[in-house]
């Protein structure tokens, strides 16, 4: 791998390999794309459950790991828990050893930017979504009163804390929507699309036999979407739905058992998920949380046939043309029945290749990021 002479610190909220959930997918494939362009990466990872990675050592000039302080005492500070729990002093010492630019992955990692101890450095904050909106949405669907209080409290703290972005040189927003919002407030946001595992469109023409929904079912918004599909869209619909995701709630399992046309599969491998995306006739992906961009939508568009979504999943992402967008249970039902009768054809495939390869290519987007960081 040829070295460009350029060095970059990346501070990650978690260990980004294996790249098997939303946030770390963006981080890992960004690291990979930068390394392939010869950037010497000094990677800093907060560790709380995921193990050290040989793969990251191969890609990076150096990799540092820090313990995340998840003690309850962090909950009572004025700074949000997701930030104050990632405040290891050794990170600051390592960042201060040189003058290389720093890319902070998410507000989560900006504790020392907020402290003003990196003044004079080129700093970029990658926003994965609007965190206060995200936590408010988690609170909205949470039934446990203590968790609900935590999410609401964290959302309030995050909304206040967000002004830390005034201290960054640039903000790298993950969606046009987020970029627009952040520019209206801070005037320094640049839209850099999500990095992901897909190098080319692998979708095939023809027909599949079922509809498919996937997501981490331990997360409130995914659980809510799955319930919506089970109880309102696929109820009494003559279409098979497969739902796949980790840690489904007992209530969701019970709801699925009452439907003969719905199957729930838990804790599948990434390879198994990708196979189901490819085999499905419709990847049906509603969401009720409109910030950021859903990487599972990109995965479905690169590898699957039809994508049936609602407005919050796709609005202002640049992907609207590639999806069928419906917002009510009755219109989603109607479209399911309609799409099951139609082939995914060469025109659909060509349009998908044009838009995805033009706007969502890691190769193109890493050039935008390099230009931002090293200009």
What confidence score (pLDDT) does residue 52 get? 94
> Residue 33 — very low, low, confident or very high, per pLDDT cuts 50/70/90?
very high
C-alpha angle 336/342/344, rounded to 5°?
100
What confidence score (pLDDT) does residue 119 get? 86
Residues 188 and 262 occupy one common structural domain: no
Residues 320 and 367 occupy one common structural domain: no
Please check the confidence at residue 270 and state whether its pLDDT lies above 90.
no
Residues 139 and 164 occupy one common structural domain: yes
Q: What is the mean pLDDT of residues 186-204?
A: 93
Residue 201 resides in a domain: no
What confidence score (pLDDT) does residue 342 get? 96
Residues 370 and 285 occupy one common structural domain: no
What confidence score (pLDDT) does residue 2 get? 58
Are 321 and 360 contacting, i.e. CB atoms less than 8 angstroms apart? no
* CATH code of 14's domain: 3.40.50.2000
Q: Both tokens of residue 296? A: 């599972």
What confidence score (pLDDT) does residue 1 get? 53
> Residue 72 — very low, low, confident or very high, per pLDDT cuts 50/70/90?
confident
Residues 228 and 84 occupy one common structural domain: no
Report helix angle 362-374 to 22-36, nearest 10: 80
DSSP assigned state of 345: -
Residue 350 resides in a domain: yes
What confidence score (pLDDT) does residue 220 get? 83
What confidence score (pLDDT) does residue 316 get? 81
Contacts of range 165-171, beta carbons closer than 8 Å, 24 or more positions apart:
165/125, 165/127, 167/113, 167/114, 167/116, 167/119, 167/123, 168/104, 168/110, 168/113, 168/123, 168/124, 168/125, 169/122, 169/123, 169/124, 170/123, 170/124, 170/125, 170/372, 171/124, 171/125, 171/127
Residues 165 and 303 occupy one common structural domain: no
Residues of the chain above pLDDT 70, percent: 98
Distance, CA of 124 to chain centre: 18
Residue 256 resides in a domain: yes
Residues 29 and 104 occupy one common structural domain: yes
Are 101 and 373 contacting, i.e. CB atoms less than 8 angstroms apart? yes
> Strand, helix or coil at 152?
helix
Q: Look at the chain and report how many structural domains it folds into.
A: 2
Residue 89 resides in a domain: yes
What confidence score (pLDDT) does residue 305 get? 98
What confidence score (pLDDT) does residue 29 get? 97
What confidence score (pLDDT) does residue 89 get? 96
Distance, CA of 282 to chain centre: 21
Residues 223 and 338 occupy one common structural domain: yes
User: Which residue, among 226, 4, 208, 225, has the nearest Cα to 100 in the 3D structure?
Assistant: 4
Whole-number CA gyration radius for the chain:
21
A 10 A CB-CB count for 232 gives 14
Q: Both tokens of residue 109? A: 């990692």
Q: What is the mean pLDDT of residues 60-81?
A: 91
Residue 202 resides in a domain: no
Residue 43 resides in a domain: yes
Residue 309 resides in a domain: yes
- Domain span at residue 72 reads 7-196+360-374
Q: What is the DSSP string of 305-331?
A: SEEEE-HHHHTTTT-GGGSEE--SHHH
Name the least confident of 166-170, 251-255, 312-316. 312-316
What confidence score (pLDDT) does residue 295 get? 86
Residues 148 and 243 occupy one common structural domain: no
Residues 170 and 305 occupy one common structural domain: no
Q: At 11, phi and psi to the nearest 5?
A: -105, 110
Q: For the purposes of burial, counting CB atoms within 10 Å of the CB of 158, is it exposed (0-12), middle (13-18) or buried (19 or more)?
A: buried
Residues 23 and 123 occupy one common structural domain: yes
Q: Which residue has the higher pLDDT, 277 or 358?
A: 277
- How many whole angstroms separate alpha carbon 256 and alpha carbon 236? 12
Residues 36 and 183 occupy one common structural domain: yes
Distance, CA of 36 to chain centre: 22
User: Which residue, among 339, 336, 308, 335, has the nearest Cα to 324 in the 3D structure?
Assistant: 308
Residue 183 resides in a domain: yes
Report helix angle 270-279 to 295-303, nearest 10: 60
User: What digits encode the pLDDT tens for the residues 108-164?
Assistant: 999 999 888 898 899 999 999 889 988 998 888 888 999 999 999 999 999 999 999
Q: For the purposes of burial, counting CB atoms within 10 Å of the CB of 129, is it exposed (0-12), middle (13-18) or buried (19 or more)?
A: buried
What confidence score (pLDDT) does residue 73 get? 81
User: Which residue, among 220, 265, 260, has the nearest Cα to 239 in the 3D structure?
Assistant: 260
What confidence score (pLDDT) does residue 123 get? 97
Are 230 and 222 contacting, i.e. CB atoms less than 8 angstroms apart? no
Question: Which of 174-183, 227-236, 288-297 has maximum average pLDDT?
Answer: 227-236
First to last CA, the chain: 22
Please check the confidence at residue 35 and state whether its pLDDT lies above 80.
yes
The per-residue b/e assignment along 350-359, b for 16 or more CB within 10 angstroms, e otherwise, is eebeebbeee
């Amino acid at each position: 791998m040829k070295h460009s002479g350029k060095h970059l610190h990346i501070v990650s909220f978690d260990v980004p390999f294996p790249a098997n959930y939303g946030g770390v997918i963006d981080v890992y494939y960004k690291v990979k794309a930068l390394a392939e362009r010869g950037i010497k990466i000094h990677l800093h990872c907060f560790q709380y459950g995921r193990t050290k990675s040989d793969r990251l050592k191969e890609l990076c000039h150096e990799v540092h790991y820090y313990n995340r302080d998840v003690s309850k005492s962090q909950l009572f500070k004025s700074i949000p828990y997701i930030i104050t729990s990632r405040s290891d002093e050794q990170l600051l010492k390592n960042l201060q050893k040189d003058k290389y630019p720093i890319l902070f992955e998410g507000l989560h990692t900006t504790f020392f930017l907020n402290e003003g101890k990196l003044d004079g450095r080129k700093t970029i904050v990658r926003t994965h979504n609007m965190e206060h909106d995200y936590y408010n949405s988690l609170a909205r669907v949470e039934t446990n009163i203590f968790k609900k209080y935590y999410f609401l409290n964290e959302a309030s703290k995050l909304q206040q804390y967000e002004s830390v972005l005034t201290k960054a040189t640039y903000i790298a927003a993950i969606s046009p929507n987020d970029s627009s919002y952040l520019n209206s407030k801070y005037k320094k946001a640049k839209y850099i699309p999500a990095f992901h595992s897909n190098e080319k469109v692998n979708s095939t023409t023809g027909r599949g036999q079922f509809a498919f929904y996937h997501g981490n079912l331990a997360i409130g918004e995914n659980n809510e979407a799955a319930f919506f599909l089970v109880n309102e869209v696929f109820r009494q619909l003559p279409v098979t739905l497969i739902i796949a995701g980790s840690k489904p709630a007992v209530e969701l399992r019970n709801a699925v058992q009452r439907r003969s046309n719905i199957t729930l599969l838990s804790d599948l491998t990434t390879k198994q998920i990708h196979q189901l995306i490819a085999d499905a006739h419709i990847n049906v992906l509603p969401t009720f949380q409109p910030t950021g961009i859903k990487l599972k939508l990109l995965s479905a568009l690169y590898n699957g046939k039809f994508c049936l979504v609602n407005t919050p999943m796709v609005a202002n992402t640049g992907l609207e043309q590639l999806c069928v967008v419906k917002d009510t249970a009755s219109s989603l039902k109607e479209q399911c029945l309609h799409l099951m009768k139609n082939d995914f054809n060469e025109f659909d495939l060509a349009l998908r290749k044009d838009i995805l390869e033009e706007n969502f290519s890691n190769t193109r987007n890493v050039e935008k990021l390099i230009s931002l960081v090293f200009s």
